[in-house]
Structure 1
Amino acid sequence: MTRREEIIRRFDPNGPGIQGNLFGLPFDVDTASVVLIPVPWEVTVTYHTGTADGPEAILKASQQIDSYMREIPEAWKLGTCMLPASKDIKAESRKLRAQASQHISKLERGEKTLVNDPLVNKINESCESLNIYVKSTAQKLLRAGKMVGIVGGDHSTPLGLLRALADHHQSFGILQIDAHADLRKAYEDFTYSHASIMYNVLKIPAVSKLVQVGIRDYCDEEAKMIEQSEGRVVTFFDDDLKDRRFSGQSWQQLCDKIVRQLPKQVYISFDIDGLDPKLCPNTGTPVPGGLEFQEAVYLIKKVVQSGRKIIGFDLCEVTSGDHDWDANVGARMLFQLCHWMGVS
């Protein structure tokens, strides 16, 4: 009997979870099939802070989730775990965030900034170093046969994983659930801004399609980029989805249209603000509208039921806030993402 088989045999899913473990489950990086990389980073956020605390808050909240999934019997046996969050990364994020705030404040006051501002260059270099760390960590896990996800941090954090996946897959698409298009070029002079993640992702040749769902906050630059993408970016704006629902179309019909736009291999990029803000009131940039929790889960299930394969995912922009509601919702969405990826 393997160590993994022995762990599964000994664990009682009806009893209390294991303190400190993701979802209270008994797995570690060697025995888990899905391994999550926490990235406590929020250097370029432009409104509320707190997303750097997201991985820790989600881990803590996850331990009170019951492990039974009616549609996936014995789902917990898949095996999930989260790597320890780097205290050095979080400390660096905190330091650079304070410096980035000074630059952002200048821009907001209409002050001129230097063309090659040393502070901006330093932040851009540090963000690229983070991308290299995430990519290297992900590559090791992928080579070990693990399924990999990112737990942010702000939405800039999954770029390294996507670069790693591009080394393993010739072509794949992205399903982005988000309130924002995130297609700005070097927003506020930061190359790796959280508002630029999908702009940077589209530089990866292996990304054949970007399908956005729930978008309801974007600028002229982003609207033009979508229009000029020649179908590489397909956006299901939140107001259009709502109009169709009000006109009698079912969520099933709309999900079928969304899924048809995706290729066979899919990466899911899930910004928690893609949900209705009552589910994530403390997220960095909440926007009225968005998906209900079960609508998002239903869409993920439709991707899997269509025969498509989820090759990775991220869950970003969850904060701890003044209470654990956001983390509770985030942990439960993470549970769904992990296990539906396993099924796919």
Structure 2
Amino acid sequence: MTPFPPARILAIETSCDETACAIVENGRALLASTVASQMELHARFGGVYPEVASRQHVLSIVPVVEQTLAQANITLNDVDAIAVTRGPGLAGSLVVGMNMAKGLALGLNLPIVGVNHLEGHIYSAWVYQADEAVPPEPQFPLMALLVSGGHTELNLMTDHLTYKRLGSTLDDAAGEAFDKVARLLDLPYPGGPSIQKVAERGDPARFKFPRARLDSPYDFSFSGLKTAVLYTVTDLKKKSKYLPVEDIAASFQAAVVETLFEKTMQAAREFGAKEILVAGGVSANRALREAFQSQTEFKVNIPALSLCTDNAAMIAAAGYYRYALGHISGMEMDVQPAWVLSD
């Protein structure tokens, strides 16, 4: 049983290009979740176009909240608190969700809790739906690898809401590298799923792409890897009309997965972690999941595929623990587009 008081949290997430709302009970039980994706709108730009994203959030936010309440079969009067993504993210997108959340909190006289988007990704690993087995409670200390389009970092988590950042990317995030390499290979956006799909038919050992060796053992760098892929593609195109896309994708993916896996395992050993948690959009990558799930040294917790990419269930889950521990934000809260998790 949870040592925290029961509460039903309605959360809103608009940090990038998904308009999302969810209702979670006691930090873990998912009652309803709605995500309005803008992927098709941004595909023609090869990435998220901030102005388009914020305008689409304005159009989608009210229907998304209404749909979530209907799915949960409850009313706003059944909610105990409002949680909202405060950052990091696109300022114009964050403001839409923040204004909606403040309006709900003010109108219903409910407490409002601002949640770090990265913290939400961590808490997504403990969310379950009614027809799923209840995941075990987290065991602290744990090593959290956050890996997404905008962030790649290692955090030591010693208790609920308590983090120490051990390292982060010095340039491109892993998900960003996937998107850029996908463009080099003329694969569709988003790059992560596209590279994974073609990599399954490729030889991951054909190209020996570099793994960055840095002075700081837990920092990441993917710009050199991306550049190596660029040079390889350019050189191959000069020699032949045929480009071995599958082998390049597989070799690139193998380099990313190996780097993420090895650094996380090393950190878990050094800091005596009881478990490893992998979260964020790139945690949906099959090769990355298999790498962690195949090792037997540590218990590994990875969110369900439906919770790897941006959603509001994760914000409700993290928001519950902030609410239960008394971290109420207040109506004066503003968005924080650049927000380090350990701040």
Task: Please give the range of the TM-score, normalised by the shorter of the 2 chains.
Answer: 0.3 to 0.5
TM, length-normalised to structure 1: 0.33
Query: Quick check: which one's strand share is greater?
Result: 2
TM, length-normalised to structure 2: 0.33
